[in-house]
Amino acid sequence: MDENGLSRMVTKGLLVHLGCEVTTVSSNEECLRVVSHEHRVVFMDVCTPGVENYQIALRIHEKFTKRHQRPLLVALTGNTDKSTKEKCMSFGLDGVLLKLVSLDNMRNVLSDLLEHRKLRTRVVKKNLNLEWNEDLTLSISDPVLPIKIMVYDRDWFSRDDKMGDAFFHIDSFLEVIRIQNQLGGLPEGTVITKIQASRQNCLSEESKIVWNNGKIVQNIFLKLQNVECGEVELQLEWIDVSGLLSINEHEDVAY
């Protein structure tokens, strides 16, 4: 979204060169109306005075009730100093990019946002048995690498205290995903395969990959390391976004 026609044309040209499909708009209201879950990234011009362009980011957050459906929001601005970045983050933007952007800078920003993301849950207050119940979406650039989870105790006066960590691999899950077209008609709750807990993983118990509501999901119970005790429960689902607007036509997402 950019009110300046020339700037809009330059940004679009860079994105097209990188293999993206691009939708351009010239106003905040048009952006809010057009943006959908099919858009992976929204570039927003925030150079004009006032906070109107920043507030449109908050309205986009409100439009998408499920976190994993919201596109990433990147501010196009005249500078990227600390105060500008802090202001952008306070309004829910995911990244900041100089408006006079080069092809390399654009490529790096997209790579950082889409392939190497670190996700954070909300902070749960005054609860020893934490339940986040959140959908988090993570772009996968290398399926061989493990996914790491870190738990922290929020400290308002100093650095957050580490409360354990764990990791899990998705290779077994991906093997099932690759043959999912051959699994049609399975009864609800069918266990497709199992992964045993061992010293080579952080599983606290057997992990099952099952057919659930027409989808393949993996239920995972992880034992936290580097802490006296603690477990994390999560469910893994694969989202194929090959048909959506993205930098890589065959990029997929796990959450």
Do residues 87 and 121 touch, judged by C-beta distance below 8 A?
Answer: no
Separation in Å, CA 5 to CA 2, 11, 89:
7, 10, 26
For the CA atoms of 89, 119, 64, 133, the dihedral, rounded to the nearest 10 degrees, stands at -130
Q: Is 129:121 a contact under the CB 8 Å cutoff? A: no
| Average pLDDT estimate for 80-99 | 81
Q: Is 172 exposed, middle or buried (0-12, 13-18, 19+ CB in 10 A)?
A: middle
Cβ contact 97:42 at 8 Å: no
pLDDT digits 0-9 by tens, 193-206: 999 998 888 999 99
Q: Which two tokens stand for residue 34?
A: 């057009």
Q: Supply the pLDDT for residue 31.
A: 84
Task: Give the distance from CA 121 to its chain's centroid.
Answer: 11
* Higher local confidence (pLDDT), 177 or 184: 177
Q: What is the pLDDT of residue 194?
A: 95
Q: Residue 208: what pLDDT? A: 95
Q: What is the mean pLDDT of the chain?
A: 76
pLDDT in tens, 225-249: 888 888 888 998 887 654 333 223 3
Residue 2 has pLDDT above 80, yes or no: no
Residue 5 pLDDT grade (very low, low, confident, very high; cuts 50, 70, 90): low
Phi-psi category of residue 177: left, alpha or beta, with phi > 0 → left and psi -120 to 50 → alpha:
alpha
Is a pLDDT exceeding 90 seen at residue 146? no
For residue 221, give the H/E element and its range.
strand 215-223
pLDDT band at residue 253 using 50, 70 and 90 as cut-offs: very low
What length does the chain have?
Answer: 255
Q: Count CB neighbours of 174 within 10 A.
A: 15
| Residue 183 predicted with pLDDT over 70 | yes
All domains in the chain, ordered by first residue:
5-115 (3.40.50.2300), 138-254 (no CATH)
Range with lowest mean pLDDT among 4-18, 188-202, 222-236: 4-18
What is the mean pLDDT of the segment spanning 193-222?
91
Helices marked H in the chain: 5-17, 28-34, 52-63, 82-90, 103-115, 171-178
